Amino acid sequence: MKHYLISFFITVIVMWAVAGYCEITNERLSQLKTDATQGDAKAEFDLASLYFDGNGVKQDYDEFMKWLTLSADHGYADAQNVLGFLYETGEIIKQDYEKSLKWYDRSSKQGDPVGQFRLGFMHYEGRGIKQDYKKAMKLFILAAEQDHATAQLYLGLMYDRGQAVTEDHNQALYWYNMSCNNGCKEACLQINIDKNAQKFVDDLINDIFGN
């Protein structure tokens, strides 16, 4: 599932790219710096993105981390998720699962579906913490109820595999459909796999027992 981590990071970068600062003016940059200096968490996050991209300012990962961390400290969930992701994957900074868990937990407690999913994923994989399918499922459900497609996919997988719950292919199919409808191609593929598997079983029974 490593591609989901990469996809998440790319999504964040794309989000920054379309945030309205593709050709930032000096006036806008000055205002953004003023707002960020005054502790505006959203402004801190946006300023961090500029330092990451080198947009209107010289690219500087130290400044990027400085403003990103301030934004996260001030409770901005997107910043907490990005910071958690960076510590989880070791992108730009040294990998640190403990810090990753901390930031995902803070985001999750704000009801953010990305934070809920990422924290659930850490429990699911046992990254920096003891593997715990029950905790993972609880967090996946919270995110899935907010239409987080990847959380819905993982719920389907857990029902398919009987992880933390009794194996239930109908429930798995329900979550795969929800995820597929929300644009997750992996979930759409799982639906076809399940259908093909069921057809194989039906054909086998017919071959053995006849019509």
Average pLDDT over residues 130-136: 98
Phi, psi at 70, each rounded to 5°: -60, -45
Burial 133-171 (b: 16+ CB within 10 A, else e): bebbbebbebbbeeebbbbbbbbbbbbbeebbeeeeeeb
Indicate the pTM of the whole model: 0.83
Output the six-digit token pair for 176.
Answer: 């795969």
- In a 3-state reduction of DSSP, which class is residue 164? coil
CATH number of 1-112: 1.25.40.10
Rounded-to-integer distance, Cα 102 and Cα 191, Å: 35
Write down the domain spans for the chain.
1-112
pLDDT digit string, tens, across residues 17-32: 444 445 788 999 999 9
User: What are the tens digits of pLDDT across the range 150-164?
Assistant: 999 999 999 999 999
Mean predicted confidence (pLDDT) in 157-184? 95
| Sequence letter at residue 152 | Q
Helices (H), the chain: 2-17, 26-37, 41-53, 61-73, 77-89, 97-108, 113-125, 133-144, 149-161, 169-181, 185-209
Between CA 28 and CA 196 the distance in angstroms is 55
